Amino acid sequence: MKAKKNKKILIFGGSGFLGKTIIDLLLKLEFEVVVFTRKKFLEKNSFKHVSKKNIKIVSWDPNNIKFIEDEFLGAETTINLCGVLYENKRNDFFKVHSDLPSTLAELCVKFNVKNFLHVSALGVSETSKSRYSSSKASGERRLLEIFPKAKIVRPSLIFGDGDNFFGQFSQMASISPVLPLISRSTKFQPVSVEDVAMGIINLINSKGKINSIYEFGGKSIYTFEDLLKMLLDVKKIRRILLPLNSKLMKIPALFLQQLPKPPFTVDQMILLENDNILLNNLPGLGELGIVPKELQEELIKIYQNK
């Protein structure tokens, strides 16, 4: 793929798992990247393809948008990756998933930024009982009202070296003979972080008319149980899978979610009551020229020697 050399791209939420992968690709392709992070210390060497001349890291406070307005001058694209998995304070979901996207969309309009790409999540709905899901859907609606040409990406479960799902269960399997099997029949369509990142970059480079919403999923559909068994097979270890009902797990979750970094929450148990697979017949990786990677092959590369 031919890069748009030195085009300025603003990335919010770039210090996360997906963000680092996207930034590495953009730097390799010689884009000019400005990364906004709420982390006080994020070094340039956090990224593989480092060039002091084409990356800038800006510490920012979402409550002080005025401070970053000048960075929008001359920018061609804004990518929003900001998201939280649980709330430390009431309304954190809506502040991050709904208020922030609409604010960034307003800034894109104000400073004539050509492209706005927003990463949401598969299966979101404003009528969902999950605050995570309803806040994500609210953010999609509000930003499209402000910036109708925005591109929204909804990925299924994203996997790769350092992901939240396989990484967490791999660590758990290294110290425990038992793994919790919450909502064993819930289905997922895992997609590689590299495929999601390349899909986003291909959307940035797309010319002509394209859809507003893309849904990214892998080649195959797996149940929660399938995924844990595959991980154990790849690691060549045996563990007991303990079936747990997501509805019953809401009771301990009610107390555990009070922790600063809870292992799981009531909202997450609600999410597990619904499948996370491609259902809407929307364009995805295939339309962007990407053949999804095979889950098991990628897990072998990551975990077989760990």
pLDDT per residue as tens digits for the range 105-157: 999 999 999 999 999 999 999 999 999 999 999 999 999 999 999 999 999 99
- Provide the domain limits for residue 215: 8-158+190-219+277-290
Domain contains 143:
yes
Domain contains 120:
yes
b/e 13-26 (16+ beta carbons within 10 angstroms → b): bbbbbbbbbbbbbb
pTM of the predicted structure, to 2 decimals: 0.91
Domain contains 205:
yes
**Mean pLDDT value across residues 13-18:** 88
Q: Can you tell me the distance from the alpha carbon of 12 to that of 75, in angstroms, rounded to the nearest whole number?
A: 13
Which of 18-32, 61-75, 218-232 is predicted least confidently? 61-75
Question: Using 50, 70 and 90 to split pLDDT, how confident is the model at 72?
Answer: very high
Q: Can you tell me the distance from the alpha carbon of 204 to that of 64, in angstroms, rounded to the nearest whole number?
A: 27
pLDDT in tens, 245-296: 888 888 888 888 888 888 889 999 999 999 999 998 999 999 999 999 999 9
Domain count, the chain: 1
Domain contains 148:
yes
Domain contains 24:
yes
Tokens found for residue 157: 């479960």
pLDDT value at residue 92: 92
Domain contains 249:
no
Neighbours of 177 (CB within 10 A): 9
**CATH at 71:** 3.40.50.720
Domain contains 227:
no
Domain contains 230:
no
